[in-house]
């Protein structure tokens, strides 16, 4: 699978502050994996939803890390996503997994979407 992400490195102090904040204020993390539909019009819908083409090959799906208050909140975010609304991603068969972000030394890597 291909996805467009930019790694962001946060300083240890901000990571420690986030780690000690109450769970409700810092949110939960969810790894979301969505496959593209495979029907004959799927690629056309993807290209219509995102007019930019990719040098890395044919897109077959995406994965994202969401920070949300609950699993229901992740579902709300996904239902409003242009790729779900445009029937690019197969939302009905999405995999949503609660995860914990591991601390790596004095920094943490987080994925953030690239701006269009």
Is 9 a residue whose pLDDT tops 80?
Answer: no
Report which of 8, 9, 28, 26 is spatially closest to residue 17, judged by C-alpha positions.
26
Is 32 a residue whose pLDDT tops 70?
Answer: yes
pLDDT at residue 14, rounded to an integer:
32
Is 11 a residue whose pLDDT tops 60?
Answer: no
Cα distance between residue 15 and residue 3, in whole Å: 25
- Assign domain 22-101 to its CATH architecture: 2-Layer Sandwich (3.30)
Is 25 a residue whose pLDDT tops 50?
Answer: no
Q: Give the residue extent of every domain in the chain.
A: 22-101
Cα distance between residue 21 and residue 100, in whole Å: 14
Inter-residue contact 56 to 97 (CB < 8 Å):
no
Residue 15 pLDDT class (50, 70, 90 cuts): very low
Reduce the secondary structure of 17-42 to three states and give it as a string. HHHHCCHHHHCEEEEEEEEECCCCCH
pLDDT at residue 105, rounded to an integer:
66
Is 20 a residue whose pLDDT tops 50?
Answer: no
pLDDT, tens only, 44-101: 888 887 754 454 456 667 888 888 899 999 999 999 888 888 898 899 999 999 988 8
Is 39 a residue whose pLDDT tops 60?
Answer: yes
């Amino acid at each position: 699978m291909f996805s467009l992400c930019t790694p962001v490195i946060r300083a240890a102090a901000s990571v420690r502050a986030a780690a000690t904040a109450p769970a409700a204020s810092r949110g939960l993390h969810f790894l979301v994996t969505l496959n593209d539909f495979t029907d004959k019009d799927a690629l056309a819908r993807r290209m219509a939803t995102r007019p930019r083409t990719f040098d890395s090959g044919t897109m077959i799906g995406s994965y994202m890390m969401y920070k949300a208050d609950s699993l229901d909140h992740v579902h709300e975010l996904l239902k409003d996503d242009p790729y779900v609304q445009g029937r690019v991603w197969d939302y009905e068969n999405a995999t949503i997994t609660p995860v914990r972000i591991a601390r790596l030394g004095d920094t943490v890597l987080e994925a953030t979407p690239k701006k269009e």
